[in-house]
Structure formats: C-alpha cells, structure tokens
Amino acid sequence: MKVLVLNGPNLNMLGIREPEIYGAQTYKDLENLIYEYGHANQIQVEIFQSNHEGALVDRIQQAYHTVDAIIINPAAYTHTSVAILDALKAVSLPAVEVHLSDVSSREAFRQVSYAGMACEKTMMGQGFDGYLQALAYLKEKYGK
C-alpha cells in the first residue's frame, strides 16, 4: 500500500510555532515517526509539505493512479481552499484529514473544513498520533 501524506502551510515550523498548541516536536520528528510507522506496517509513505496552495493541488493531482490513499493536514488551507477540496474530489482517492489540534474547540473561523468535505474521516486533537491513526485506518480498510 502506498500513502501520500500532505502537509500544508507552517507545519514546517513545528517546534517553533505556538508550542503550547502544537507541541515542541519538530517537523522532522513528525516525518521520522510517519516513516517508521509505515516501514513497520508495510505501508510505503511519501510525505510532501508546502506553504503554497497550488503546490498542494499539483501534488494531489499527481497522486492520481500513483498512490492508494491520501492523508492531508491542509493547515490554514483547511478553512479557505476550495481548490484543495476540488483536487481531492477529482482524484477520488480515499482520504483522511488530520489536524494536530482540536480545531473544533478553537476560533470560529476554524469550524469549516473544505478539505474535510472530500475526506472519509478526520483525526483531530491527537497530535502526531493522529497521523498514525490515519495510517492504521487506511491500512485496515484499503490495505493490500
């Protein structure tokens, strides 16, 4: 099974940006955790992060016929990007949305997730473990 893990803007700043919300672990720590879990569970993982909406849309489109599923943390684009929603719908791959924090208990503007409308499941408020839960869910449901 091959899974594309997409991360949106500012996730590359983990460990620096608002550690009281996002924790002290770095983006490299997150990547290592995901790769280790994938290796241990026979999941080929590709991780891509961008601060640019178009780059995320391009990578989603490139996933068509090249991966089995997508895990996406669109970060700030969660609440603004119809383009990411449309790209996810276009490729019609199983997708899981992940958020490190519990966005449902945060600011009012964070209550709508456009990307989530194209995802079959959302993991939120579990920190880095949300990515592992998403991988486990996809492996159980779609694993080869």
39 catalytic? Reply is: no
Report the domain count for the chain: 1
Q: Which two tokens stand for residue 4?
A: 């594309």
Instruction: Determine the structural domain holding residue 72 and report its residue range.
Output: 2-142
The whole-number pLDDT of residue 117 equals 93
Q: Which of 22, 27, 37, 114 is catalytic?
A: 22
In the predicted structure, residue 110 carries a pLDDT above the cut 70: no
- Model pLDDT for residues 85-96, shown as the tens digit of each residue: 999 999 999 999
Question: For residue 69, what are the β-bridge partners?
Answer: 3
Evaluate if residue 101 carries a pLDDT over 70.
yes
**Could you report the per-residue pLDDT of 25-62, keeping only the tens digit for each?**
899 999 999 999 999 999 999 999 999 999 999 999 99
Is the confidence at residue 21, as pLDDT, over 80? no
> What average pLDDT score do residues 72-83 get?
93
In this prediction, residues 114-128 reach a mean pLDDT of: 94
Which CATH number fits the domain that encloses residue 100?
3.40.50.9100
Report CA-CA distances (Å) from 36 to 6, 46, 71, 126, 132. Answer: 17, 12, 16, 18, 10
What was the pLDDT predicted at 55? 98
Question: CA quadruple 12, 13, 18, 19: dihedral positive or negative?
Answer: positive
Burial class of 21 by CB neighbour count within 10 A (0 to 12, 13 to 18, 19+): exposed
- The catalytic position among 27, 37, 99, 131 is 99
* C-alpha span between 1 and 70 (Å, rounded): 11
Cβ(10)–Cβ(16) below 8 Å: no
pLDDT at position 79, please? 83
Per the CB < 8 A criterion, the answer to whether 46 and 64 are in contact is no
pLDDT in tens, 131-141: 999 999 999 99
- Catalytic-residue membership of 22: yes
Kindly report the length of the chain: 144
